């Protein structure tokens, strides 16, 4: 499973289609290639909740005598969605970090929304400079464990899909 950075062109984007710098703030668009749609839909139909978490970290390369200390972390964000199937309204419901609810009547519409993060304002301010790059990863909990069963996740990652970290050079 790979994370890809896909982004339709928009007017403010500068060089890349996968990210943009708007008023000094980084906007990214992420989506998951080959998502575990079937597994997620199965869990939702069983009455369980699923969660997807996108991890975005922005670094600036460090050179010179302090290079051995590693690259500088400029900022990071971890937007997440929580999904469930509402059998009383026959809708997929997705909640974001701000508890805003999105309802979908069909599975394809739900999957398209759930596995992507379009035009997301990361809140990471990029100062003028160069050598920036971004590491991205996605973690999907097909079953979001409820307390106290969430103790399991401390010891064993269960029913979880995790993508590899993907590196994208940021050039503005």
Partner 1 sequence: MKLSRSPGSSVTGLVSLVLIYILLIVLILFFSNEVLQDISKESTLSNFVVLPLAVILPVFIVGTLVVNILRLVRERRTGQPGVRLKIRMIIFFTFIAFLSSIPQGILSISFINTTMNSWFSTPTRGALQGGVDVALEFINDKLTNLASFSDSAALSSMLRDIKRSPDHLWKDVHEANPSISAVQVFSDNGNELFFRGDSRARLKAPFMSNREEGMLPKESSGDLSILRFLRIYRADQDRFAVVLSSILPAGFDQKAQALTASREIFTQLDRFGAVFRIVLVLFFSFFSLPMLLLSILVSFLLSEEIMRPIVNLEEATRRVTQGDYSYRILGRSGDELALLVNSFNKMISELERSRLKIMQTEKVTAWQEIAQRLAHEIRNPLTPIKLSAQRILKKAEESREELDRILEPAVRSIITEVENLDRMLREFRDFSKLPAPQLADVNLKELVREVLTMHEQAFRNVVFNLDAVPEGLILRVDRDQLRQVFTNLFKNASESIQGDGSVWVRADLVRKGNYQYCRVQVQDTGCGIEEEYHNQVFNPYFTTKGSGTGLGLPIVERIIFDHKGQIWFETQVGSGTTFFFDLPMET
132-141 and 166-170 as β-strands: parallel, antiparallel, unpaired? antiparallel
Q: Which stretch in 23-31, 63-71, 84-92, 112-120 sits in contact with partner 1 by CB under 8 A? A: 84-92
Residue 145: CB minimum distance to partner 1, A:
6
Determine the Cα–Cα distance for residues 36 and 14; give it in Å rounded to an integer.
32
The stretch among 3-11, 24-32, 61-69, 153-161 that binds partner 1 (CB under 8 A) is 153-161
CB nearer partner 1, residue 65 or residue 156:
156
- Verify binding: residue 144, partner 1, rule CB under 8 A: yes
Q: Which is nearer to partner 1, 2 or 158 (CB)?
A: 158
Residue closer to partner 1, measured from CB, 49 or 57: 49
Beta-bridged to residue 84, according to DSSP, are 93
By CB under 8 A, residue 98 contacts partner 1 = no
CB of 100 to partner 1, least distance (A): 14
Q: Pick out residues in 28-57 that bind partner 1 (CB under 8 A).
A: 46-49, 51
User: Is residue 86 within 8 Å of residue 102, measured between CB atoms?
Assistant: no
DSSP bridge partners of 104: 92
143 binds partner 1 (CB under 8 A): yes
For partner 1, the binding residues in 103-142 under the rule CB under 8 A are 103, 105, 141
Six token digits for residue 88: 């009383």
CB of 164 to partner 1, least distance (A): 20
7 sits in which H/E element: none
What's the angle, vertex CA 91, arms to CA 40 and CA 162, rounded to 5?
Answer: 20
For tokens 């739900």, name the residue. 110
Instruction: Count CB atoms within 10 A of the CB of residue 158.
Output: 12
In sequence order, the β-bridge partners of residue 56 are 77, 136
Q: How many residues does the chain have?
A: 172
Binding site for partner 1 (CB under 8 A): 46-49, 51, 78, 87-89, 91, 103, 105, 141, 143-156, 158
């Amino acid at each position: 499973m790979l994370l890809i950075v896909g982004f339709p062109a928009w007017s403010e984007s500068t060089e890349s289609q996968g990210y943009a710098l708007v008023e000094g703030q980084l906007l990214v668009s992420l989506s998951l290639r080959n998502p575990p749609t079937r597994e997620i839909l199965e869990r939702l139909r069983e009455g369980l909740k699923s969660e997807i978490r996108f991890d975005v970290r922005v670094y600036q390369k460090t050179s010179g005598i302090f290079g051995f200390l590693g690259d500088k972390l400029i900022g990071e964000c971890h937007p997440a969605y929580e999904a469930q199937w509402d059998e009383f309204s026959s809708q997929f419901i997705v909640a974001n970090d701000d508890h805003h609810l999105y309802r979908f009547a069909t599975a394809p519409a739900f999957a398209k929304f759930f596995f992507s993060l379009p035009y997301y304002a990361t809140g990471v301010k990029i100062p003028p400079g160069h050598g920036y790059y971004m590491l991205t990863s996605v973690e999907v909990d097909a079953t979001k464990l409820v307390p106290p069963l969430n103790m399991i996740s401390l010891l064993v990652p269960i029913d979880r899909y995790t993508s590899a970290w993907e590196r994208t050079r940021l050039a503005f």
